[in-house]
Amino acid sequence: MGLFITFEGLDGAGKSTQIERLHRRLTGNGKQVVLTREPGGTPVGDRLRDILLDPDQTNLSMETEVLLYAASRAQLLHEVIRPALKQNKTVLCDRYVDASLAYQGAGLGIGVDRVGSINAFATQQLKPDLTFLFDLPVQLSQTRVAYSRGRVQPDRIERRDAEYFNRVRDEFLEIARRDPARVVVLNASRPVEDLEKEIWDVVQKHLEHIEGSIETH
């Protein structure tokens, strides 16, 4: 099985830049890499993404929201993630289950355990080997999002208030505290080059570990 790496955090944390840079480094080192994102990443998932982020969907129930994110995820696992891992490829995924635990479980107040069980079904318990959590203060996230969007309207999720995003951030940190072997917390306010290096060091260690254990078998 290939290495499965996910990236989490509030919007505006610089995830996309780092995912691209890691992708470049890995392919430069001869690795086969699949890059994907949630919600979306498949034709069905992209349609679900349109619904989930559409600001005109003002009457989507919380339950529907959780299930649509989980449905997009289940399809992505089926079409993209599992096949790639089976072919020993490295999978880089922009957001995964932790996003639902934080944004829906904690943010909407549905409960992390309830959202966790729905996602256990959707993913058949497939967990990432490694997760990078890009942590930054909510205010900074909101300023960066507003700046990068310019005149483009915020999506349905971005319209939520600072209290909501504080619950999301706190839950991400709580997830990291519960699972320190998997989740690496990054201070997303640091310079891009520093973050890139830190991420690369961690990924290299994981790859060496995997390759080392294959050689000893």
Binding site for ligand TYD (CB under 6 A): 11, 37-39, 53, 69, 95, 99-100, 103-104, 155, 157-158
- Which amino acid is located at 87 in the chain? Q
What's the rounded Cα separation, in Å, for the pair 28 and 35? 15
Write the burial class of residue 87 (CB in 10 Å: 0-12 exposed, 13-18 middle, 19+ buried): exposed
In whole angstroms, how close is the CB of 157 to ligand TYD at the nearest point? 4
Q: Closest residue to ligand TYD, Cβ-based?
A: 103
- If the CB atoms of residues 147 and 217 are measured against ligand TYD, the closer one turns out to be 147
Q: 13 vs 130, which CB is nearer to ligand TYD?
A: 13
Cα dist from 29 to 23, 25, 180, whole Å: 10, 6, 27
For residue 186, what are the β-bridge partners?
134
CB of 38 to ligand TYD, least distance (A): 4
- Least spacing, CB of residue 165 vs ligand TYD, in Å: 9
Nearer to ligand TYD, 37 or 167 (CB): 37
Nearest approach, Cβ of 197 to ligand TYD (angstroms)? 23
CA dihedral 64, 66, 67, 70 (to 10 degrees): 160
